[in-house]
Amino acid sequence: MRQVIQDLLAARVGDILPNEPLAPYTTWKIGGPADVLVAPSGKAELAETIRILQRSGQPFLTIGRGSNMLVSDKGVRGVVVKLGKGLDHIRIDDTAVTAGGAVSLITLSNVVGKQGLSGLEFAGGIPGTVGGAVYMNAGAHGSDMSRILKEAEIVLETGETVRLRNDEMKFAYRHSLLHDRPGIVTEAVLELARADRKQIAQAMAANKERRIKTQPLHLATAGSTFRNPDDHHAARLIEEAGLKGYRVGGAEVSPLHANFIINTGGATASDVLQLMDHIRSTVRDKFGVSLTPEVLVVGER
């Protein structure tokens, strides 16, 4: 690891932070330290970082805003690559919108809406980045990224940069090609449509109001904990199993939305994992339905 740090420093790729706690970098506010956290200062620096890590054989994990992610209490061995500076640009050319992988999806939806561009209204309350949204094919309110993505720029594990079209991304429910062919989304080109600004604002306001009423947006969560099974809604199954408000340590099933787990203060990854296991076993025993986690669990167990 010492040699890797020296190589990264010599390459001047950005900020390099040894033994960096990861809890502040996640929306759940949970997680132990990374051996090293690297925050590249741009696309070229990110690609060089990946090439250095590839040559060294050092494992690495990429994070944006840290939503949809549970970091273990022991932290992450190897390197964590944090996307931010240099990957937070937004460019608008008529109905085509180019956004860096580190851009907040909420910010982007507000920016394009004010420009009279429709297609991102569904994303106004999703607490992730553009890159994470492409990776997960994030969606809500009957739409998702697969409907608006034109192409994505991706840095592969080799450090090579490629551009992939929508039809090459193999989008499915909360799935993309990147689950099978790992890479980091550095930029996404979205094709939106012209629409009335007032109508866009009204749709976004309605979606926001619905989320405020039904989701614990002001609390530390990772978003939806489980994927919706075929022909079912995870939240409804969890609620009907009588688990709203159920707690393990500092982790609690939200009384507002049963598919959200809240860090009520001081929750550990172990608390969350035990609670997730209890939810899955209870729902399986009561309804014969297996819940699949939507959150990514990472780090040393």
- Residues designated as active site: 174, 224, 294
CB 236 within 8 A of CB 257: no
Burial class of residue 201, CB neighbours in 10 A (0-12, 13-18, 19+): middle
Burial class of residue 159, CB neighbours in 10 A (0-12, 13-18, 19+): middle
d(CA 271, CA 263): 9
